[in-house]
Amino acid sequence: MRIVFMGTPEAAAVSLEHLLKGPDPVVGVITRPDRPFGRGQKSVPSPVAKLAQSHKIPLAAPQKVRDPGFLTTLKNWKPELIVVVAYGRILPASILELSPQGCLNVHYSLLPRYRGAAPVAWTILNGEEKGGVTTMRLVEKMDAGPIFLQEEVSLAPDETTASFQSKLAPIGARLLLRTIEKLKDGSVQPEAQDEREASYAPMLKKEDGQIDWTLAAQAIERQVRAFQPWPSAYSYLRGKLLKIYRATVVSTEEHGLPGEVIRADQENLWILTGQGALSLEEIQLENRKKLPVAEFLKGTRVEKGERLSPG
């Protein structure tokens, strides 16, 4: 079966890698255009683009998916199936209906729950014990298509979006290959999603990382894990950005204001929240290195009674 692959980030590249080892030819790859990235705003190709280039597979990176030239290119590849993994764009009907087998999508949640752009982050943010991967047929409504296969994966207690995403990537890739096999021999029937169970996982915004210290310590701790690697949970110490990479919930008898430092010795930095306290474990001050808190405290004196606060 001639396959065209659409995807952009690392997780998508993992799927493409597995596809390339499979029996079906990948006749073309579509990814998002190179974007200015990092310091100096240098343009860097996506992980999927790099992989396609190293395998000398025809590559397209259209600015707009409705671009007529691009659509012609896509048609000329004559795909029998289009595989979409974290491409990052909503596809128009013209593409969804372009190949005989339609578009097969790998989504990193247990659909119909967590439809949308950031399923993994929301799974962690909401304190779910299980997440997973689903393969489904793309339809015009976001992540609402009929389901082929699904696999549950349980979350570790210290799971971050980054760690869970990299755990899911190979599982999704294998699920994708199995789905394609079953599609070919007709041994799988897509099953409609239960709309009543649907929930949404919208894209995270930078500002969502700002910590509200009036929330419960447990909720903030989940936010810290969910916002790894982006956009990071953060607050401000003496007007400087303080990113929090790892923290644990601790119980305390102390009273004070949310965000207040209630313990600052050589090893511990505890912050009072709306309910319970948070022991910061790994943090990074603006322009500094990311450090275990004990190392951080050797160079930066923090006094009990200081407050972490919005800028």
Partner RNA sequence: CGCGGGGUGGAGCAGUCCGGUAGCUCGCAAGGCUCAUAACCUUGAGGUCCCGGGUUCAAAUCCCGGCCCCGCAA
Residues at the site binding RNA, with contacts judged by CB under 7 A? 35-41, 206, 230-232, 234, 241, 243, 266, 284, 286-291, 295-296, 298-300
CA atoms within 13 A on the CB side of 261: 19
Find the shortest distance in angstroms from Cβ 71 to RNA: 25
Find the shortest distance in angstroms from Cβ 42 to RNA: 8
Give the list of residues 6+ apart from residue 67 with CB closer than 8 angstroms, or none. none
Find the shortest distance in angstroms from Cβ 101 to RNA: 32
Smaller CB separation from RNA, 25 or 37 = 37
Strands 35-37 and 81-85: unpaired
Find the shortest distance in angstroms from Cβ 233 to RNA: 11
Smaller CB separation from RNA, 75 or 290 = 290
Smaller CB separation from RNA, 254 or 295 = 295
- DSSP state letter for 82: E
Smaller CB separation from RNA, 38 or 157 = 38
Smaller CB separation from RNA, 108 or 234 = 234
Q: Are 252 and 236 in contact (CB under 8 A)?
A: no
Integer Cα distance of 15 and 31 in angstroms: 13
Q: Can you tell me whether residue 45 is helix, strand or coil? A: coil
Find the shortest distance in angstroms from Cβ 117 to RNA: 13
Helix, strand, coil shares of the chain as percentages rounded to 5? 30, 30, 40
Helix (H) or strand (E) holding 163: helix 161-185
Find the shortest distance in angstroms from Cβ 287 to RNA: 4
Ramachandran region, residue 198 (left: φ > 0; alpha: ψ -120 to 50; beta: rest) = beta
Smaller CB separation from RNA, 77 or 296 = 296
Token pair of 63, please? 């600015």
